[in-house]
Protein backbone atom coordinates (compact mmCIF):
# COMPACT_ATOMS: atom_id res chain seq x y z
CA UNK A 1 0.00 0.00 0.00
CA UNK A 2 2.63 2.47 0.97
CA UNK A 3 4.79 1.38 -1.92
CA UNK A 4 1.93 1.98 -4.34
CA UNK A 5 1.34 5.30 -2.72
CA UNK A 6 4.96 6.33 -3.06
CA UNK A 7 4.98 5.24 -6.65
CA UNK A 8 1.97 7.33 -7.42
CA UNK A 9 3.41 10.47 -5.99
CA UNK A 10 6.62 9.93 -7.90
CA UNK A 11 4.55 9.42 -11.02
CA UNK A 12 2.57 12.56 -10.36
CA UNK A 13 5.70 14.49 -9.72
CA UNK A 14 7.10 13.26 -13.01
CA UNK A 15 3.94 14.22 -14.85
CA UNK A 16 3.87 17.64 -13.25
CA UNK A 17 7.54 18.23 -13.96
CA UNK A 18 7.16 17.16 -17.60
CA UNK A 19 4.16 19.34 -18.16
CA UNK A 20 5.33 22.50 -16.53
CA UNK A 21 9.08 22.64 -16.31
CA UNK A 22 10.89 20.57 -18.86
CA UNK A 23 10.97 20.48 -22.64
CA UNK A 24 11.04 16.69 -22.44
CA UNK A 25 8.01 14.61 -21.67
CA UNK A 26 9.40 12.10 -19.19
CA UNK A 27 6.08 10.32 -18.78
CA UNK A 28 6.09 9.43 -22.44
CA UNK A 29 9.64 8.08 -22.15
CA UNK A 30 8.79 6.11 -19.02
CA UNK A 31 5.73 4.68 -20.75
CA UNK A 32 7.79 3.34 -23.60
CA UNK A 33 11.02 2.49 -21.85
CA UNK A 34 10.35 -1.25 -22.18
CA UNK A 35 10.33 -0.83 -25.96
CA UNK A 36 13.76 0.77 -25.74
CA UNK A 37 15.06 -2.17 -23.75
CA UNK A 38 13.72 -4.60 -26.35
CA UNK A 39 15.37 -2.45 -28.99
CA UNK A 40 18.65 -2.62 -27.11
CA UNK A 41 18.33 -6.41 -27.00
CA UNK A 42 17.90 -6.57 -30.77
CA UNK A 43 20.81 -4.19 -31.35
CA UNK A 44 23.06 -6.22 -29.08
CA UNK A 45 21.88 -9.53 -30.48
CA UNK A 46 22.66 -8.73 -34.10
CA UNK A 47 25.88 -6.89 -33.27
CA UNK A 48 27.21 -9.72 -31.13
CA UNK A 49 26.27 -12.59 -33.43
CA UNK A 50 27.68 -10.87 -36.49
CA UNK A 51 30.88 -10.00 -34.59
CA UNK A 52 31.30 -13.65 -33.66
CA UNK A 53 30.62 -14.96 -37.17
CA UNK A 54 32.72 -12.21 -38.74
CA UNK A 55 35.57 -12.80 -36.32
CA UNK A 56 35.62 -16.53 -37.00
CA UNK A 57 35.62 -15.89 -40.75
CA UNK A 58 38.37 -13.33 -40.44
CA UNK A 59 40.96 -15.60 -38.81
CA UNK A 60 41.57 -17.96 -41.76
CA UNK A 61 41.21 -15.11 -44.23
CA UNK A 62 43.80 -13.02 -42.40
CA UNK A 63 46.22 -15.95 -42.20
CA UNK A 64 45.81 -16.68 -45.90
CA UNK A 65 46.40 -13.04 -46.71
CA UNK A 66 49.41 -12.72 -44.44
CA UNK A 67 51.04 -15.77 -46.05
CA UNK A 68 50.43 -14.28 -49.49
CA UNK A 69 49.30 -17.39 -51.31
CA UNK A 70 48.60 -15.74 -54.66
CA UNK A 71 45.48 -17.70 -55.61
CA UNK A 72 43.92 -16.91 -52.21
CA UNK A 73 45.32 -13.47 -51.68
CA UNK A 74 43.69 -11.82 -54.71
CA UNK A 75 40.08 -12.92 -54.09
CA UNK A 76 40.32 -12.13 -50.39
CA UNK A 77 41.74 -8.73 -51.19
CA UNK A 78 38.83 -8.10 -53.56
CA UNK A 79 36.37 -9.17 -50.87
CA UNK A 80 37.81 -6.87 -48.21
CA UNK A 81 38.25 -4.00 -50.65
CA UNK A 82 34.66 -4.24 -51.76
CA UNK A 83 33.22 -4.36 -48.26
CA UNK A 84 35.52 -1.72 -46.84
CA UNK A 85 35.07 0.67 -49.75
CA UNK A 86 31.27 0.87 -49.73
CA UNK A 87 28.69 1.95 -47.14
CA UNK A 88 27.11 -0.73 -44.99
CA UNK A 89 23.71 0.85 -45.60
CA UNK A 90 23.94 0.19 -49.31
CA UNK A 91 25.26 -3.33 -48.77
CA UNK A 92 22.27 -4.06 -46.56
CA UNK A 93 19.86 -2.57 -49.10
CA UNK A 94 21.46 -4.69 -51.79
CA UNK A 95 20.83 -7.87 -49.85
CA UNK A 96 17.43 -7.03 -48.37
CA UNK A 97 15.73 -5.13 -51.20
CA UNK A 98 17.96 -6.12 -54.09
CA UNK A 99 17.95 -9.90 -53.99
CA UNK A 100 14.17 -10.01 -54.44
CA UNK A 101 14.73 -8.90 -58.02
CA UNK A 102 15.82 -12.39 -59.05
CA UNK A 103 13.21 -15.06 -59.48
CA UNK A 104 15.62 -17.87 -58.74
CA UNK A 105 16.34 -16.34 -55.34
CA UNK A 106 12.67 -15.94 -54.58
CA UNK A 107 11.94 -19.50 -55.59
CA UNK A 108 14.90 -21.07 -53.79
CA UNK A 109 14.49 -22.93 -50.52
CA UNK A 110 16.40 -20.17 -48.71
CA UNK A 111 13.90 -17.46 -49.53
CA UNK A 112 11.15 -18.17 -47.07
CA UNK A 113 13.08 -18.68 -43.86
CA UNK A 114 16.16 -16.54 -44.51
CA UNK A 115 16.42 -14.11 -47.38
CA UNK A 116 13.00 -12.54 -47.00
CA UNK A 117 13.54 -11.70 -43.35
CA UNK A 118 15.24 -8.42 -42.48
CA UNK A 119 16.83 -10.02 -39.41
CA UNK A 120 18.74 -12.61 -41.45
CA UNK A 121 19.66 -10.18 -44.21
CA UNK A 122 21.11 -7.79 -41.68
CA UNK A 123 22.98 -10.58 -39.96
CA UNK A 124 24.54 -11.82 -43.21
CA UNK A 125 25.59 -8.36 -44.35
CA UNK A 126 26.93 -7.27 -40.97
CA UNK A 127 28.93 -10.50 -40.58
CA UNK A 128 30.58 -10.14 -43.98
CA UNK A 129 31.24 -6.45 -43.33
CA UNK A 130 32.94 -6.93 -39.98
CA UNK A 131 34.82 -9.95 -41.38
CA UNK A 132 36.33 -7.70 -44.03
CA UNK A 133 37.52 -5.06 -41.55
CA UNK A 134 38.76 -7.63 -39.04
CA UNK A 135 40.68 -9.52 -41.73
CA UNK A 136 42.66 -6.44 -42.64
CA UNK A 137 43.81 -5.40 -39.19
CA UNK A 138 44.40 -8.98 -38.11
CA UNK A 139 46.59 -9.43 -41.17
CA UNK A 140 48.54 -6.36 -40.09
CA UNK A 141 48.98 -7.82 -36.62
CA UNK A 142 50.15 -11.16 -38.02
CA UNK A 143 52.64 -9.52 -40.35
CA UNK A 144 54.03 -7.56 -37.42
CA UNK A 145 55.03 -10.66 -35.51
CA UNK A 146 58.60 -10.32 -34.35
CA UNK A 147 60.90 -12.16 -36.73
CA UNK A 148 62.84 -13.71 -33.89
CA UNK A 149 59.75 -15.48 -32.54
CA UNK A 150 59.10 -17.16 -35.88
CA UNK A 151 62.75 -18.10 -36.30
CA UNK A 152 62.81 -19.55 -32.81
CA UNK A 153 59.70 -21.62 -33.57
CA UNK A 154 61.25 -22.86 -36.79
CA UNK A 155 64.47 -23.68 -34.99
CA UNK A 156 62.49 -25.84 -32.59
CA UNK A 157 61.11 -27.69 -35.62
CA UNK A 158 57.47 -26.62 -35.25
CA UNK A 159 55.23 -27.35 -38.21
CA UNK A 160 53.45 -24.31 -39.69
CA UNK A 161 50.06 -25.01 -38.18
CA UNK A 162 51.35 -25.50 -34.69
CA UNK A 163 53.48 -22.39 -35.04
CA UNK A 164 50.35 -20.47 -36.02
CA UNK A 165 48.39 -21.83 -33.12
CA UNK A 166 51.00 -21.44 -30.43
CA UNK A 167 53.20 -18.55 -31.47
CA UNK A 168 51.78 -16.30 -34.13
CA UNK A 169 48.05 -16.09 -33.44
CA UNK A 170 48.19 -15.59 -29.66
CA UNK A 171 50.52 -12.64 -29.96
CA UNK A 172 48.71 -11.28 -33.03
CA UNK A 173 45.38 -11.34 -31.17
CA UNK A 174 46.96 -9.38 -28.37
CA UNK A 175 48.34 -6.80 -30.73
CA UNK A 176 45.01 -6.53 -32.55
CA UNK A 177 42.95 -6.07 -29.39
CA UNK A 178 42.93 -2.24 -29.26
CA UNK A 179 41.92 -2.07 -32.93
CA UNK A 180 39.28 -4.69 -32.27
CA UNK A 181 37.66 -2.63 -29.53
CA UNK A 182 37.25 0.15 -32.08
CA UNK A 183 35.73 -2.28 -34.54
CA UNK A 184 33.21 -3.45 -31.95
CA UNK A 185 32.17 0.12 -31.20
CA UNK A 186 31.95 0.95 -34.89
CA UNK A 187 29.82 -2.13 -35.41
CA UNK A 188 27.46 -0.96 -32.66
CA UNK A 189 27.29 2.45 -34.33
CA UNK A 190 26.63 0.89 -37.72
CA UNK A 191 23.84 -1.25 -36.35
CA UNK A 192 21.55 1.80 -36.71
CA UNK A 193 21.18 0.57 -40.27
CA UNK A 194 18.78 -2.01 -38.78
CA UNK A 195 16.18 0.69 -38.30
CA UNK A 196 16.17 1.39 -42.05
CA UNK A 197 15.09 -2.13 -42.94
CA UNK A 198 11.99 -2.11 -40.73
CA UNK A 199 13.63 -3.58 -37.61
CA UNK A 200 12.94 -2.06 -34.18
CA UNK A 201 16.42 -1.56 -32.77
CA UNK A 202 17.14 1.29 -30.34
CA UNK A 203 17.01 3.94 -33.04
CA UNK A 204 14.02 2.18 -34.58
CA UNK A 205 12.07 2.71 -31.37
CA UNK A 206 13.14 6.36 -31.31
CA UNK A 207 11.98 6.83 -34.87
CA UNK A 208 8.70 5.11 -34.11
CA UNK A 209 8.12 7.45 -31.16
CA UNK A 210 8.92 10.44 -33.33
CA UNK A 211 6.60 9.26 -36.07
CA UNK A 212 3.76 8.50 -33.72
CA UNK A 213 3.73 11.52 -31.42
CA UNK A 214 5.70 13.95 -33.57
CA UNK A 215 8.08 14.56 -30.69
CA UNK A 216 11.71 14.45 -31.76
CA UNK A 217 13.64 14.93 -28.52
CA UNK A 218 12.06 12.21 -26.43
CA UNK A 219 12.78 9.36 -28.82
CA UNK A 220 16.16 10.42 -30.13
CA UNK A 221 17.65 11.64 -26.88
CA UNK A 222 16.63 8.44 -25.12
CA UNK A 223 18.14 6.45 -28.00
CA UNK A 224 21.30 8.53 -27.70
CA UNK A 225 21.58 7.78 -23.99
CA UNK A 226 21.09 4.06 -24.62
CA UNK A 227 23.87 4.01 -27.21
CA UNK A 228 26.18 5.98 -24.94
CA UNK A 229 25.58 3.55 -22.11
CA UNK A 230 26.34 0.58 -24.38
CA UNK A 231 29.53 2.15 -25.71
CA UNK A 232 30.61 2.94 -22.17
CA UNK A 233 30.06 -0.65 -21.08
CA UNK A 234 31.87 -2.04 -24.12
CA UNK A 235 34.92 0.17 -23.70
CA UNK A 236 35.02 -0.66 -19.98
CA UNK A 237 34.90 -4.35 -20.83
CA UNK A 238 37.71 -4.02 -23.33
CA UNK A 239 39.84 -2.13 -20.85
CA UNK A 240 39.54 -5.01 -18.40
CA UNK A 241 40.28 -7.49 -21.18
CA UNK A 242 43.29 -5.50 -22.34
CA UNK A 243 44.68 -5.24 -18.84
CA UNK A 244 44.51 -9.05 -18.62
CA UNK A 245 45.92 -9.88 -22.00
CA UNK A 246 48.46 -7.11 -22.28
CA UNK A 247 49.73 -7.38 -18.72
CA UNK A 248 53.24 -8.20 -19.89
CA UNK A 249 53.43 -4.91 -21.79
CA UNK A 250 52.58 -2.66 -18.88
CA UNK A 251 55.44 -0.56 -17.57
CA UNK A 252 56.76 -2.21 -14.45
CA UNK A 253 55.86 -0.45 -11.25
CA UNK A 254 58.66 0.33 -8.90
CA UNK A 255 58.41 -0.92 -5.35
CA UNK A 256 58.03 2.45 -3.68
CA UNK A 257 55.64 4.05 -6.19
Partner 1 sequence: MLLLSGTAVTIQLALGSLALSVLLGLVGASAKLAKSPLSNRIASAYTTLIRGVPDLVLMMLLFYGGQQIVNDLGSLTGLWGYVEINQFIAGVWSIGFVFGAYMTETFRGAILAIPRGQIEAGISVGMRPSQIFRRITWPQMVRHALPSFTNNWLVLIKATALVSVIGLHDLVWNASTAGRSVREPFTFMFAVLVIYLILTACSDVGLRWIERRYNVGVDRA
106 or 174, CB closer to partner 1? 106
- Classify each residue of 36-66 as buried b or exposed e, where b means 16 or more C-beta atoms within 10 Å of its C-beta: beebbebbbebbeebbebbbebbbebbbbbb
Q: According to the binding rule CB under 8 A, does residue 53 interact with partner 1? A: no
138 or 187, CB closer to partner 1? 187
Instruction: Compute φ and ψ for 166, nearest 5 degrees.
Output: -95, -30
Helix (H) or strand (E) run with residue 98 in it: none
Give 85's Cβ-side CA count (13 Å radius).
6
Smallest gap from residue 123 Cβ to partner 1 (A): 18
88 or 172, CB closer to partner 1? 88
Q: According to the binding rule CB under 8 A, does residue 37 interact with partner 1? A: no
Site for partner 1 in 188-217 (CB under 8 A): 188-193, 195-196, 203, 206-207, 210, 216-217
Q: Residue ranges of the alpha helices (H) in 86-215?
A: 88-93, 103-107, 118-143, 147-155, 160-163, 169-190, 202-213
Q: According to the binding rule CB under 8 A, does residue 89 interact with partner 1? A: yes
Residue 72 exposed, middle or buried by CB count within 10 Å (0-12, 13-18, 19+): middle
Smallest gap from residue 215 Cβ to partner 1 (A): 8
Instruction: Say which residues have a Cβ less than 8 Å from residue 6's Cβ, sequence separation at least 6.
Output: none
Site for partner 1 in 106-165 (CB under 8 A): none
Q: Which of 78, 179, 81 is nearest to 137 (CA)?
A: 179
Of residues 49, 90, 110, 152, which one binds partner 1 by CB under 8 A?
Answer: 90
Site for partner 1 in 170-189 (CB under 8 A): 185, 188-189
96 or 175, CB closer to partner 1? 96
Residue 22 exposed, middle or buried by CB count within 10 Å (0-12, 13-18, 19+): exposed
Q: According to the binding rule CB under 8 A, does residue 233 interact with partner 1? A: no
159 — alpha (psi -120 to 50), left (phi > 0) or beta? beta
Of residues 11, 13, 37, 102, which one binds partner 1 by CB under 8 A?
Answer: 102
Smallest gap from residue 47 Cβ to partner 1 (A): 11
Q: According to the binding rule CB under 8 A, does residue 87 interact with partner 1? A: yes
Find the part of the chain contacting partner 1 (CB under 8 A) among 5-13, 82-90, 149-157, 159-167. 82-90
Smallest gap from residue 10 Cβ to partner 1 (A): 27
Determine the Cα–Cα distance for residues 127 and 142; give it in Å rounded to an integer. Answer: 21
| Binding footprint of partner 1 on the chain (CB under 8 A) | 81-82, 85-91, 93-94, 97-102, 185, 188-193, 195-196, 203, 206-207, 210, 216-217, 220-221, 223-224, 227-228, 231-232
Amino acid sequence: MTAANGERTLWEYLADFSENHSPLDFVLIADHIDKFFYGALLTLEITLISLIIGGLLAIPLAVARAYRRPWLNRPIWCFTYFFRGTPLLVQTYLVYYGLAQFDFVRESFLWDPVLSSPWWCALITFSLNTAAYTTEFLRGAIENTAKGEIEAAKACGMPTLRMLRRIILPSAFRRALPAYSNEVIFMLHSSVVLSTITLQDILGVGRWLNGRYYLAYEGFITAMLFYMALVFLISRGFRVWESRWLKHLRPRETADA
